[in-house]
Amino acid sequence: MIIKVCGITNADDALSAIDAGATAIGFNFYPRSPRYIAPERAAEIDTRVVRRIGVFVNESPARIAEIARIAALDTAQLHGDESPAEYPNQLAVWKAARVAAGFTFAPYAGAPAEALLLDGPAGELYGGAGVAFDWSVAAATGLRIILAGGLDAENVARAIAVAHPWGVDACSRIESSPGIKDHNKMRRYLKAARAALLA
């Protein structure tokens, strides 16, 4: 069961998320993201025993491995145009896909990823934009799915009931500004997600 808070940039937000029930913490290593964090800074943030996820966009496997070593990552979440041959082989991979018109699971069938993270449409941007999608497309795929895109305390239980995912991931809808979490919104999201996933 994965309950992830992404876009962590400071220790206070990380520890608050963990205290409230997060099982995974995401660090964004895409330099053009407003939530970018340097690998050395991420390494200083204690996340106790939860999974440490690194978000990457079109990085080389060698650079991902280097950042994973510096920041003590468990998983690489890939948001770029990487083919399976370009996945790093030193750690688990979550491949991110944006669900928009014409979306199909065909490109991801048989890919060597631990999970497929489904995000909402973001136009030409890499990564998510806090936009939800039709969660029913994720149901009964046979793949291990993590739902992202526009999730918060108000809709995460409904998303879980529709899609029956392996996990959920929230970021922008639980922030006060990019990279800074609203602890009340974050706690409410985590409480709702945990209750729904354990139901």
Q: Which entry of 6, 152, 169, 171 is annotated as an active-site residue? A: 6
CA distance 37 to 139: 33
pLDDT digits (tens, 9 = 90+) for 68-99: 999 999 999 999 999 999 999 889 999 999 99
Angle formed by the axes of helices 156-163 and 183-198, nearest 10°: 30
171 annotated active-site? no
Q: Model pTM?
A: 0.94
Q: Which entry of 12, 13, 119, 152 is annotated as an active-site residue? A: 119
Amino acid at 155: N
φ/ψ of residue 23, rounded to 5: -110, -5
Residue 89 burial (C-beta neighbours within 10 Å; 0-12, 13-18, 19+): exposed
- Domain coordinates in residue numbering, the chain: 2-198
pLDDT digits (tens, 9 = 90+) for 157-192: 999 999 999 999 999 999 999 999 999 999 999 999
* CATH number of this structure's domain 2-198: 3.20.20.70
119 annotated active-site? yes
